[in-house]
Amino acid sequence: MRLPAYGVGEAAVETTTRLRPIRERRRGRPLAVGTCVVLGLGLIGGALAGVWLAASGGGKPAEPAEYAVAKELWHNAPVDTLFPRTLTAPQAGPGPSARTWTRVVVAPDAPCAAGSLAPRLLDTLRPLGCERVLRATYTDATASSVLTVGLVFTRADVTAQRDLDGRKLAARLGQDVPPALPGAGTVAAGFGPAQRAGWWVTAPADLPVVVTAVSGFADGRALDRPVRADEAMKKGRTDAVAQSGLGHEALGIAERLEKQLRTTAQAAAKEKEGQR
């Protein structure tokens, strides 16, 4: 924000120097200079106060344009934009292997409730103004795994979103596994609570959204206990979730979806700015 020009002060000095006689000019100049200083300080103070108020919103950081726009994407953006029919993630792992996922199920947007969110995550997001939950299920290129991903939109301000500390959110939630979204007549038909294998939850600091992901075997096999993605990816693990890469799947698709949403929010913000 540019500070105002000092045209008023300059005009006052210029007018004072033209006063006659000389004796009055000498008496008037200190007064004019003092007036100029007062006006200048007032303008600077007012401008800075305006900057602070605009930036803080009463002590809160200003929301970037894409942050504000993202709050409305759950009903403004097409489903194929939020959940592309195909997602690709180079080097999603294990190792340097790339991953490709194809969408097989899309659920209608839903309220923040037990049917669409895990209990502890729901309790965490309610105070922030949990707005809406969007979910879809994908399968990998070999149709051997299925993954339900979720975008949880909130009314959280920038400070509250940062306080979620999204990269550590999954660990804080404990065994709070996201619900699976099955799809009749698809490879995900048998994807239910007992089939959940690897899972992940994250919250980007620059978007008012929480991203969830849970993976499982497409053959419908049940597992004793779902494993958090970062745990499943540790070296030396020999359990089925680790060996199959289902932890990599959950983390990889969550990161890819977050990147997709950020790109969508930035594009929407630029479009909105162009319309002004």
Render pLDDT for 198-250 as a digit per residue (tens, 0 to 9).
999 999 999 999 999 999 999 999 999 999 999 999 999 999 999 999 999 99
For residues 85 and 103, the answer to whether their CB atoms sit within 8 Å is yes
State the alpha helices, DSSP H only, in 96-245: 119-125, 158-163, 169-173, 229-232, 240-244
Give the mean model confidence (pLDDT) for residues 62-74: 92
The reply to whether omega before 94 is within 30° of 0 (cis) is: yes
Q: How far is CA 133 from the centre of its chain?
A: 14
Does 33 have pLDDT greater than 90?
A: no
Render pLDDT for 82-132 as a digit per residue (tens, 0 to 9).
999 999 987 666 666 778 999 999 999 999 999 999 999 999 999 999 999
Distance between CA atoms of residues 154 and 109, nearest Å: 13
What was the pLDDT predicted at 274? 84
For residues 255 and 91, the answer to whether their CB atoms sit within 8 Å is no
Render pLDDT for 164-209 as a digit per residue (tens, 0 to 9).
999 999 999 999 999 999 999 999 999 999 999 999 999 999 999 9
Q: With 0.85 as the threshold, say if the pTM is over it.
A: no
What was the pLDDT predicted at 99? 85
Tell me how crowded residue 72 is: count the other CB atoms within 10 A of its CB.
13
Does 158 have pLDDT greater than 60?
A: yes
Give the mean model confidence (pLDDT) for residues 9-16: 29
For residues 221 and 239, the answer to whether their CB atoms sit within 8 Å is no
Q: How many residues does the chain have?
A: 276
